[in-house]
């Protein structure tokens, strides 16, 4: 019995739920009631640790001063703020338009490469080369679409929908590629969608949203609704923007070794 309880922190949510169902079957059996009760108690403690209240506690254990402490600034916030500021400067409307009008694609591609290197959001050995190769093959399509998404007319959902269509033509219709620049260019209102991070954050938060691997405007808006819901749930910690919310999601579901499917 002790070995089963010791393994609970290593189990997936599905395995925990299966274990819970099995333990409940023994609650009406006198010889096994006590053991089953101990397993269920251990499961409840583990779920409390994993779910949002537990995540807040472990976040504060790592970051004693929360979002405003030195630990959080040095490990999470400062480099994202710096990346955002650099991207906003590089892709400023007037200069971006000038480079696009002059077909200065070499400079634009170099800017994208630099922007990607500012963070660890886009995986370096596979995602980054794939993205840059696709852009090099059709730079006009990509940069025209990126400019319109960032600076074109219309509301953001409409512009994002057009951007997703163009990214699909380029073979880049993945959440990481689609949401990287919206997040860094406007971290007050947009979220970077790292698939496994979002999926685990939804699970831990017990939020009723079904994730899909193919980006759509509707699902992105629902992810933003979730992100703002989470911001409200963390109100006591006073998160400032989606950078803080992204950092908390990363705490809930660090994704360095996880699939992005």
pLDDT at position 106 over 50: yes
Long-range contacts of 237-242 (CB under 8 A, 24+ apart): 237/56, 237/59, 237/60, 237/66, 237/67, 238/66, 238/67, 238/68, 239/67, 240/67, 241/187, 241/188, 242/183, 242/187, 242/188, 242/189, 242/190, 242/191
Return the CA Rg of the chain.
Answer: 22
- Cβ pair 111, 135 in contact under 8 A: no
Output the pTM of the full model.
0.81
Amino acid 208: pLDDT: 86
Amino acid 51: pLDDT: 85
Residue 171 DSSP class: T
- pLDDT tens-place string over residues 112-171: 999 999 999 999 889 999 999 999 999 999 999 999 999 999 999 999 999 999 999 999
Cα torsion angle, 18, 19, 20, 22, sign: positive
pLDDT at position 258 over 60: no
pLDDT at position 261 over 50: no
pLDDT at position 48 over 80: no
Q: Average pLDDT, whole number, for the chain?
A: 91
Residues 6+ positions from 48 with CB-CB distance below 8 Å: 54
- pLDDT tens-place string over residues 235-245: 999 999 999 99
User: What average pLDDT score do residues 215-239 get?
Assistant: 96
- Cβ pair 246, 80 in contact under 8 A: yes
User: What average pLDDT score do residues 30-56 get?
Assistant: 79
Q: How many CB atoms lie under 10 A from the CB of residue 215?
A: 24
């Amino acid at each position: 019995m002790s070995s089963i309880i010791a393994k609970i922190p290593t189990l997936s949510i599905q395995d925990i739920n299966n274990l819970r169902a099995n333990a409940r079957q023994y609650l009406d059996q006198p010889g096994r009631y006590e053991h089953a009760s101990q397993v269920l108690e251990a499961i409840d403690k583990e779920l409390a640790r994993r779910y949002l209240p537990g995540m807040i506690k472990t976040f504060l254990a790592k970051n004693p001063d929360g979002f405003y402490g030195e630990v959080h600034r040095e490990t999470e916030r400062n480099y994202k703020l710096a990346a955002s500021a650099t991207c906003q400067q590089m892709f400023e409307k007037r200069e971006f338009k000038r480079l696009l009008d002059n077909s200065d694609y070499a400079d634009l591609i170099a800017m994208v490469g630099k922007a990607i290197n500012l963070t660890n959001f886009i995986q370096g050995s596979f995602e980054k080369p794939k993205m840059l190769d696709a852009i090099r093959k059709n730079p006009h399509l990509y940069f025209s679409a990126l400019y319109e998404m960032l600076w074109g007319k219309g509301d953001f959902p409409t512009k994002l929908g057009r951007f997703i269509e163009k990214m699909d033509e380029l073979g880049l219709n993945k959440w990481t590629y689609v949401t990287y620049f919206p997040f860094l260019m406007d971290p007050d209102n947009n979220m970077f969608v790292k698939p496994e991070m979002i999926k685990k954050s939804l699970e831990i938060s017990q939020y009723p949203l079904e994730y899909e691997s193919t980006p759509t405007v509707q699902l992105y808006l629902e992810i933003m609704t979730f992100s703002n819901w989470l911001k409200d749930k963390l109100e006591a910690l006073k998160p400032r923007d989606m950078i803080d919310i992204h950092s908390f999601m990363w705490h809930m579901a660090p994704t360095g070794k996880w699939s992005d499917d």
